[in-house]
Amino acid sequence: VVYLVVFHLSFVMFVWSYGKTIFTSPATPSNEFCLSKADKEQYEKEERPESQQEILRRAAKDLPIYTTTASRAIRYCDRCQLIKPDRCHHCSACDVCVLKMDHHCPWVNNCVGFSNYKFFLLFLMYSLLYCLFVAATVLQYFIKFWTNELPDTHAKFHVLFLFFVAAMFFISILSLFSYHCWLVGKNRSTIETFRAPTFRNGPDKNGFSLGCSKNLREVFGDEKKYWLLPIFTSLGDGCNFPTRLVIMDPEQLAVSSQNEPAKSSVANQSFPTRPLSESQNRLLSGDCQWVETGPEEENVKSG
């Protein structure tokens, strides 16, 4: 009875998480990040990148944007014709800008991002437990197979095949699940691991990290009773996130930026400075911890 209950429970949670990961549509930026009709027409008429950036900076002055491109330009998607929110990237497979995009997963034929990242993690976890459960229950028959204690029937080859498949999937999923657990603890996406987001004071791979506990709550929510259920409980709206730059003293940022040499002609441009309030995201409350900063290599592939 216990065997059947555990088997069916793990299978149901696995299928539920897998289905939510597949059928949850990627979250896209809200309309406030789209250019107005006049700005869009003016942007398309301009041929000089400097003039286009001036239009984008004017349109983004009231938006909660704290990251730029490596050349300190406003992140703009020509395909979707909108200003990209922080951590948003365009998916060439889905042909849409995805909020907090992690990667496009061919195994689920969907983008993994803000709307379904929790479901993806639970899918990996329950897949891991399901494979472990199958391998553990077949192990005794696998041992009998090698000791020639198993009856000489066609079923013994099925046992051998089932054990190897479950063990191989367990090892591969374990490595992937461990990697994403590390990403959650650091509050990074797969894209941000290869290409650190650029803030006002330069690239910072830990720019969105608020400490392991708050990073975990940002993905799974405040209610622990819902953490293991494939129900959306992530904090925020996907368009803006609490950052270390928001919490730091603006005067300190101004002093540090003056001490750094200019790297481009647009290094001294103005950036949107509207801060995030605690009502927008409860993760801003309390002290935040961080230790690392530094640029990373730019080499990102979908999937």
From the list 105, 111, 131, 288, the catalytic residue is 105
CB 35 within 8 A of CB 76: no
Specify whether 105 is catalytic: yes
Q: How confident is the model at residue 204 (pLDDT cuts 50, 70, 90)?
A: very high
pTM, two decimals, is: 0.79
Alpha-carbon distance of 246 to 40, in angstroms, equals 29
Could you tell me which of 256, 244, 241, 252 has the C-alpha nearest to residue 290? 244
Residue 294 pairs with which residues in a beta bridge?
204
**Which is more confident, 80 or 10?**
80
Q: What is the pLDDT of residues 11-58, one digit of tens each?
A: 899 999 999 999 999 999 999 999 999 999 999 998 899 999 999 999
